[in-house]
Structures are given as C-alpha cells and as structure tokens.
Amino acid sequence: MTKAEFVNRLAKKGETTKKQAGEALEMVFGVIREELVKGEQISVPGFGKFSVVQRAARTGINPRTKKKIKIKATKAPKFTAAKAFKEAVK
C-alpha cells in the first residue's frame, strides 16, 4: 500500500477529505519523528513501541574489495510490535 492509498483509505474510514487525512497522517509521523529525535520512546498499547537504539561501532567488510572497514557508532529508529498486534497479523 502506498502513502496515497493509505490516505485515501484513512479519509474514507474517517469520513473526511483526503487533504485532512493527509495532514493528520503527517502530524502523527511528525510527532513520532520529533520524539525519537529527542531520544524519547512512544508506546501505543495494542500496536507497539517506537524507540531509538544505539548501534556500537564495529568492523565490517567492503563486499567489493573484501577490505575491512570501520563502521561508526550510530543511532537508529526501532519499532517493536505489541503482542496483540502480532496476534492480529497471524
């Protein structure tokens, strides 16, 4: 499903316009993004948890040259699905 299809479905379900549905979706993603940038986590019962994980520096291998390279430590977003959500998808 594309973002446009998702917005269309959201508009129909919420009995609203596509524009309003798109704006609401952007607001939700914006809040999630802002909180993760601050290092916070967002927990939505029955759906899952958005958080930030710290990835340690490590040594990797360049697949073309087979030389070892150093990969810097970084932060990455993470989503963990709630048990109820996992069960619903089964």
- pLDDT tens-digit series, residues 18-41: 999 999 999 999 999 999 999 999
Residue 65's pLDDT band (boundaries 50, 70, 90)? Answer: very high
DSSP one-letter string for 26-57: HHHHHHHHHHHHTT--EEETTTEEEEEEEEPP
Given this model, what pLDDT does residue 24 score? 95
- The predicted pLDDT at position 33 comes to 96
Q: According to the model, what pLDDT value does residue 68 have?
A: 95
What pLDDT score does 73 carry?
Answer: 96
Rounded to an integer, what distance in angstroms lies between the CA atom of residue 77 and that of residue 14? 29
Q: How far apart are CA 48 and CA 35, in angstroms?
A: 15
Whole-prediction pTM value?
0.77
What pLDDT is stored for residue 18 in this prediction? 95
